[in-house]
Amino acid sequence: MSSIPRDPALDSTLALFREGYEFIWNRCKRFQSELFQARFMGKPALCIHGRDAAQLFYDDSKLQRGGAVPRRIVTSLFGKHGIQTLDGSAHRHRKAAFLALMNATNLQRLMDETAQHWRRSIMEWEQSETVVLFDETQRLLTRAACAWAGVPLDAREVSRRARDFCQMVDAFGGAGPRLWKGKLARARAERWMEGVVQEARSSGLRAEPGTALQVMAALRAESGELLPARVAAVELLNVIRPTVAISWYISFAALALHQHPDSRLELAAETPGEAAEGYAHLFVQEVRRFYPFAPFLGARVRAPFAWRGHHFEPGTLVLLDVYGTHHDPQIWAAPEEFRPERFAGWNGDSFGFIAQGGGDPARGHRCAGEWITMHQLTLALHFLTRCVQYDVPPQDLRFDLARMPTRPRSGFVMSGLRSTPALLGPTPRLPSAFAARQTAAE
Ligand code: HEM
């Protein structure tokens, strides 16, 4: 067995938090290696990078999720006993419930709901001198996601619930106050959702069939037992929270529109019906490749195996580099350029492009909400390019790769908003033909 590079630091935990998204990629470049050893919180770990590493990472005969998610993430971002920590048949059973929500009718319902909220919000924004897109889309998506999921939400509650969803996400790369805010936000959100699940179960609340509330409230473990209400609440939050988190990507999409005016013109010129398959789709993919969100993913070695001449011991933590894999010139030509066109001839390799995980979502842990994310971004582009005109006043649009999660610092401030006649016109028919084809192929 060959020896592999080792990060010289005694413990790399601080460096990981200091370098953020680039931690693994910096070292892979320095060591000219797809893997290296490091220690985090005093424990040995292996960091892996690239397309083949992603394929390895999603081989569930070799790696598992049980015991891989740190407590700080479970208590802020994910919740206890949620799908992210399950393996094998228990995981596949739970995953089927999430994927059942992603049928064409349900996705279209979410898009119609969200489009209503975009229209209403734009009319309100016209009355303000400036709006911060990141903050506004958090509230817009909270309203839309809860309505779609069948979760009652009073107008007065919207801001604080949206804040809680975002604090849970914002905690994942934070320590101290940022982490504590995320934990408290999770505790509040779980209490709220547990109550909603209990009401749905006791029929106090009529949950429409097929909604996320009805599906999660009725969800049973593989053994046939009804899930504890708290666990059903965790899973309901696993649908709503990440839907609200699309506001991070929307602020990056707005930044890309601002910095690439030619792309904006091309998007605006497409008719809404085509947008789902045409340039908008390429633009959405490039937003998810180019801008950072998930920095890396973690799993533990299940059974011993060798890869690239190195022996992987059972129980070892393995971190897969997501950000670096998207910025590796061996995988992506000119990776530091924002070029939607690159996706026109893309081969669809599900291990080279891993913004929301890789492989087959039904078998493995790849994101259950990728269609929602792509459709929400397409819808956001429709409204931002055709339905509203705005100015972008001077502001700090930089994003810090050392901060996880990151976004344009200003949150993307828009001023002088005026709606166009297209605001009340047709929206792209979603889910796109693209998604429908994919669904049919599975
Ligand atoms: C902001 C957009 C999103 C990003 C960047 C994102 C990213 C990810 C990533 C990286 C994973 C982990 C994959 C792995 O562990 O192998 C994941 C898992 C997951 N995502 Fe998303 N996601 C997003 C939106 C959504 C949406 C809208 C939903 C709504 C249903 C969703 C639901 C889930 C679920 C349930 C899992 C766990 C899957 C499993 O463990 O089997 N995500 N996501």
**Ligand 1 contact via 242 beta carbon (within 6 Å):** yes
DSSP code, position 156 = G
Tokens, residue 237: 């939050």
Q: Rounded to whole angstroms, how far apart are CA atoms 128 and 440?
A: 44
DSSP code, position 386 = I
- Can you spell out the DSSP letters for 7-58? -SSS--HHHHHHHGGGHHHHHHHHHTSSEEEEEETTEEEEEEESHHHHHHHT
Residue that has been written with the tokens 């409230």 in this structure: 217
DSSP code, position 207 = P
Tokens, residue 441: 């192929």
**Ligand 1 contact via 236 beta carbon (within 6 Å):** no
Torsion of CA 70, 321, 236, 230, to 10 degrees: -10
Of 183, 178, 181, 109, give the one whose Cα is nearest residue 150.
109
Of 417, 407, 410, 408, give the one whose Cα is nearest residue 395.
410
**Ligand 1 contact via 64 beta carbon (within 6 Å):** no
**Helix, coil or strand: residue 176:** coil
**Ligand 1 contact via 385 beta carbon (within 6 Å):** no
**Ligand 1 contact via 404 beta carbon (within 6 Å):** no
Q: Rounded to whole angstroms, how far apart are CA atoms 148 and 28?
A: 43
Q: Rounded to whole angstroms, how far apart are CA atoms 142 and 122?
A: 16
Residue that has been written with the tokens 């390895």 in this structure: 56
If you compute the radius of gyration of the chain from its CA atoms, what whole number of angstroms results?
21
Position 73, amino acid: I
Q: Say how many Å lie between the CA of residue 52 and the centre of ligand 1.
A: 21
* pLDDT given for residue 275 in this prediction: 46
Q: Please tell me the total number of residues recorded for the chain in this structure.
A: 442
Among protein residues, the one whose CA lies closest to atom 28 of ligand 1? 369
CA distances from 85 to 81, 95, 350, 365 (A): 7, 12, 22, 9
* pLDDT given for residue 222 in this prediction: 92
CA distances from 368 to 171, 291, 315 (A): 21, 20, 26
* pLDDT given for residue 205 in this prediction: 66
What is the sign, positive or negative, of the torsion defined by CA atoms of 125, 129, 134, 138?
negative
Q: Yes or no: say if 52 and 34 are a contact pair by the CB < 8 Å rule.
A: yes
Q: Say how many Å lie between the CA of residue 357 and the centre of ligand 1.
A: 8
- Can you spell out the DSSP letters for 424-437? GS----SS-HHHHH
Among protein residues, the one whose CA lies closest to atom 23 of ligand 1? 242
Q: Rounded to whole angstroms, how far apart are CA atoms 42 and 276?
A: 47
413 bridge partner residues: 132
**Ligand 1 contact via 95 beta carbon (within 6 Å):** yes
DSSP code, position 416 = E
Torsion of CA 100, 55, 222, 98, to 10 degrees: -20
pLDDT of the chain along its 442 residues, tens only? 558 999 999 999 999 999 999 999 999 999 999 999 999 999 999 999 999 999 999 999 999 999 999 999 999 999 999 999 999 999 999 999 999 999 988 999 999 999 999 999 999 999 999 999 999 999 999 999 999 999 999 999 999 999 999 999 999 999 899 999 999 999 999 999 999 999 999 976 677 889 999 999 999 999 999 999 999 999 999 999 999 999 999 999 999 999 999 999 999 988 776 544 689 999 999 999 999 999 999 999 999 999 999 999 999 999 999 999 999 999 999 999 999 999 998 999 999 999 999 999 999 999 999 999 999 999 999 999 999 999 999 999 999 999 999 999 999 999 999 999 999 988 877 655 445 445 444 4
Q: Say how many Å lie between the CA of residue 331 and the centre of ligand 1.
A: 23
- The minimum-distance atom of ligand 1 relative to the CA of 299 is 15
Among protein residues, the one whose CA lies closest to atom 9 of ligand 1? 356
Q: Rounded to whole angstroms, how far apart are CA atoms 440 and 312?
A: 38
Q: Rounded to whole angstroms, how far apart are CA atoms 157 and 17?
A: 33
Q: How far does CA 429 lie from the centroid of its chain?
A: 22
Tokens, residue 55: 């394929």
* pLDDT given for residue 440 in this prediction: 44
